[in-house]
Amino acid sequence: MTLSPQFFWYTITPLDVLMLRDAKPFTPGERAWAGSTFPPNGHAIAGAIRGLLGTEEKLQIRGPFFCHDYQTLYFPCPLGFVNKIPLIPLNWANNHPLNGQLKWDRTRPCPLVKPFGPQSEHDDSDTLCSDRAEVKCRQYLPWQIVKDYLDKGTIAEEVWQLQYQGEDQPWTVESRSHNSIEPGSRQVKDADGYFVENAIRLYKHWSLAIGLDNQTHQAIQQQAAGRALVVRLGGEGHRAVLERCKTLDEQWQELQCSSGANFDRGGRVLAYLVTPGVFERQTQSRAICQAWPWEWKLADTSNPTQTQGPLVSVATAKAVPISCRIRDEKDKTKSIPAPQVFAAPPGTVYYLNSPPKIRGNYPLFQDDPPLSKNGKPHRARIWRQLGYSELLWISYQP
């Protein structure tokens, strides 16, 4: 597998709340509740960095992820687990009683099941994290546990329990109301007079973490001159401190090395999505998003004439709506809302019979697409450069 170039890691620590609007249209008076989304997407991070540097130059990002105490990267929990028990495709569970009995739509991925045997008997234990149990589980895992997951193919039961505040969700949501008063009275305006916004506040000891390419890193270091910098992030330009964090460089590099070795080893693999996955296909009339890359064909086909691919199954959840802005073609100094995109959520796990290789040794078309018809970088490549669709690879351990 071709490893990505070196990235230089920084933390982003908000000085106050953050306002990150969701992708729903909002007009005070028509919809009185302005939603918010977190963590910020790659477009919001890129806007903050470009605003700091005062440039429109292209940049590459990895993340954003969470960071605890400026020394530990945190990643979203893989969705291929139920109550700490790993799920596997039915086709891979040779001794499962449903194998050969269960019928499913062959135009869709294979169903996922719990392993059949002694391990599945622990499902009703009081120590498991479930809707019935009051014990909270980690929803974000430190990089050491993710490294073990890459090396061993599994996550031990005891590591799911919370160790620090925020490992289930390192932020809180604060609702703030806004009123506009009619001139000469004490009454709220009938039109555009009242709405509520959701603000995001990170817990103490938590920050965002991003990796930046060498060119962007050098530009920031020249401007910083050995001191921390302040960026404007999200709606209303709330301030956050941008600081270099060399410790995270080593953690990311170790994960990349383990992931690359698993990809090169071949055989059955799991692809663990750690940032929102944007898998969009353009047609003449519309764009369609789905939860896995379009270039990965299904391993089980309903029609013998269909092309067989490596993808066996997918463990995913509700799509993440992403809304960004693009330059107005009529006035380059202004921006307009871009069409909404629905991304596969971080934590999605893909089960494949073999590592997919697109255009040489790349697992995704986004990693190395051809240039667009106008000679500019392909749109899919731009999404990838902004940190979307980041995969870590795990060798399947029965």
pLDDT in tens, 241-280: 999 999 999 999 999 999 999 999 999 999 999 999 999 9
The pLDDT of residue 300: 87
Q: Sign of torsion, CA 279 232 12 229?
A: positive
CA distance linking residue 150 with residue 391, whole number of Å? 11
CA separation (Å) from 308 to 302, 304, 329, 361? 10, 9, 42, 19
The arithmetic mean of pLDDT across residues 14-23, rounded, is 83
- pLDDT band per the 50, 70, 90 thresholds, residue 35: low
CB atoms < 10 A from the CB of 288, how many? 11
The pLDDT of residue 132: 38
Residue 391 in any domain: the answer is yes
pTM equals 0.89
- β-sheet bridge partners, residue 350: 271, 314
The pLDDT of residue 259: 96
The arithmetic mean of pLDDT across residues 143-172, rounded, is 94
Bridge-based pairing of strands 194-202 and 335-337 is unpaired
Q: Residue 295: is its pLDDT beyond 60?
A: yes
H helix runs in the chain, sequence order: 42-53, 143-152, 214-224, 246-265, 379-385
Instruction: List, in order, residues 6 or more apart from 114 with CB less than 8 Å away.
Output: 82, 85, 87, 88, 120, 123
Q: Using one digit for the tens of pLDDT, what is the confidence trace for 159-217?
A: 999 988 999 999 999 887 655 555 665 554 555 555 677 889 999 999 999 999 999 99
Residue 259 in any domain: the answer is yes
Share of the chain above pLDDT 90, in %: 56
Residue owning tokens 């960026």: 231
Residue owning tokens 């050491």: 144
Choose the weakest-confidence range: 272-281, 320-329, 377-386: 320-329
Q: Would you state the structure tokens that stand for residue 343, as one six-digit string? A: 């991304």
Q: Residue 395: is its pLDDT beyond 70?
A: yes
Choose the weakest-confidence range: 30-34, 87-91, 214-218, 319-323: 30-34
The pLDDT of residue 3: 60
Tell me the chain's radius of gyration from C-alpha atoms.
Answer: 23
The pLDDT of residue 20: 84
Q: Residue 377: is its pLDDT beyond 90?
A: no
CA atoms within 13 A on the CB side of 376: 5
CA atoms within 13 A on the CB side of 275: 24
The arithmetic mean of pLDDT across residues 322-334, rounded, is 73
Residue 2 in any domain: the answer is no
Residue 3 in any domain: the answer is no
CA distance linking residue 168 with residue 136, whole number of Å? 7
CA distance linking residue 248 with residue 246, whole number of Å? 5
- pLDDT band per the 50, 70, 90 thresholds, residue 26: low
Total domains, the chain: 1
Range of the domain at 40: 8-395
The arithmetic mean of pLDDT across residues 207-230, rounded, is 94
Q: Residue 309: is its pLDDT beyond 80?
A: yes
Tell which wins on pLDDT, 311 or 118: 311
The pLDDT of residue 137: 87
CB 125 within 8 A of CB 163: no
Residue 66 in any domain: the answer is yes
